[in-house]
């Protein structure tokens, strides 16, 4: 997925620092999610997670320049993930919880807006939000909903 995201970020002409910050964030989210699910997290993934979240991401020039705007969006993304995780564990996976999981792409859209302005972001918003790769039916199946909309 990282390769695919990098390709998307290149097509959006994001500066290297913005793309790198978004990729570190993606990889960190995946590692945290694996850990939360009780999946094995390889040592090199854990080491990267520690370094990226505590050192590299906060020092990234794109993040440093836009931290006041990105930090609240990060907070919302975390809260949405926690909300989706909670309802999923309680057996309530739904169209709403599926959407809550896609908060990362709101950050990508914010990066496009910060780098290229609101008009450019509006012109590609559907493409950015369409990067969400998990299909709704697969999501429901993962949480034993069998593809019905709850």
Task: Assess if residue 149 is contained within a domain.
Answer: no
Say if 52 falls within a structural domain: yes
Kindly state whether residue 112 falls inside one of the protein's structural domains: yes
Span 14-43, mean pLDDT?
96
Number of domains comprising the chain:
1
| 108-131 tens-digit pLDDT | 999 999 999 999 999 999 999 999
Residue at 7 is within a domain: yes
Q: For 32-42, what is the mean pLDDT?
A: 93
**Long-range residue pairs from 87-93, CB within 8 A, at least 24 positions apart, any chain:** 88/143, 91/143, 91/144, 92/150, 93/139, 93/140, 93/142, 93/143, 93/145, 93/150
Is 64's pLDDT higher than 90? yes
H/E element holding 48?
Answer: helix 43-51
Could you tell me the residue range of the domain that residue 79 belongs to? 2-142
Q: What's the pTM value of the predicted model, to 2 decimals?
A: 0.90
Average pLDDT over residues 44-65: 98
CA dihedral 72, 33, 100, 148 (to 10 degrees): 180
Q: Which residues of 42-57 are buried (b: 16+ CB within 10 A; e: fewer)?
A: eeebeebbeebbeeeb
Tell whether 147 is covered by a domain.
Answer: no
In a domain, 80, yes or no: yes
Assess if residue 36 is contained within a domain. Answer: yes
pLDDT at residue 145, rounded to an integer = 56
The CA distance from 88 to 50, in Å, is: 27
Mean pLDDT, residues 67-76:
97
Q: Is residue 150 part of a domain?
A: no
């Amino acid at each position: 997925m990282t390769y695919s995201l990098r390709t998307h970020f290149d097509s959006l002409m994001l500066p290297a620092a913005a793309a790198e910050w978004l990729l570190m964030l993606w990889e960190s989210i995946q590692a945290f999610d694996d850990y939360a699910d009780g999946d094995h997290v390889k040592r090199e993934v854990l080491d990267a997670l520690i370094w990226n979240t505590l050192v590299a991401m906060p020092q990234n020039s794109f993040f440093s320049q836009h931290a006041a705007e990105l930090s609240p969006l990060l907070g919302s993304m975390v809260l949405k993930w926690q909300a989706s995780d909670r309802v999923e564990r309680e057996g309530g996976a739904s169209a709403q919880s599926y959407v809550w999981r896609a908060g990362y792409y709101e950050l990508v859209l914010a990066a496009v807006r910060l780098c290229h302005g609101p008009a450019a972001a509006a012109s590609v918003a559907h493409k950015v939000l369409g990067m969400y790769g998990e299909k709704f039916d697969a999501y429901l199946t993962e949480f034993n909903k069998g593809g019905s909309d709850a």
